[in-house]
Amino acid sequence: MNAITRITVLTLALGLSACAVQRPEPTTRLPPIPPSQPSPTPSTTPTPSKPGIPAKPAKPVPRTSASFAPPPGGNSHWDQKLGVYVLDDQTNTFYRQRTYYRWNNGWSRSISPNGPWEETNIHGVPAGLGKQFGE
């Protein structure tokens, strides 16, 4: 045998012998996992009719969008239906993606909530705004 073959055989023998020396861990029996839902039990008595159960309160409307950042420094809330932030202290003024939109008998847009405002049409505003206000 040449030297490379001897080294390979010795390395394999030594590596495999390490596996034979370790003892397996003792197996411990874990208690069975209970079912996730209780099984239904048949009822022998009829269930009395209950008065109307009040509806659960609606989920709170998210204040922010998962996709769009809110306007800097302004009080606003996210309107899921419109797909924009609605500025709380300016009537019919909206924000999305670094642009403010304002409805005042027509659409205008700006990079600041205070203007200067540039006129635009329904195609220059987010789709939800165009559907809500139209032109």
pTM of the model: 0.52
Total length of the chain: 135
Question: Which pLDDT does position 5 carry in this prediction?
Answer: 87
Q: What is the DSSP string of 4-42?
A: HHHHHHHHHHHHHHHHHHSPPPPP-PPPPPPPSSPPP--
Q: Is the pLDDT of residue 37 over 90?
A: no
Question: Sign (positive/negative) of CA torsion 74, 101, 125, 80?
Answer: positive
Q: What is the mean pLDDT of residues 34-56?
A: 60
The band of 9, judged by pLDDT with boundaries at 50, 70 and 90, is: confident
Rounded (5°) CA angle 110-113-119: 30
Neighbours of 132 (CB within 10 A): 16
The H-assigned helical ranges of the chain are 3-21, 127-133
Question: Which pLDDT does position 122 carry in this prediction?
Answer: 86
Question: Which pLDDT does position 71 carry in this prediction?
Answer: 87
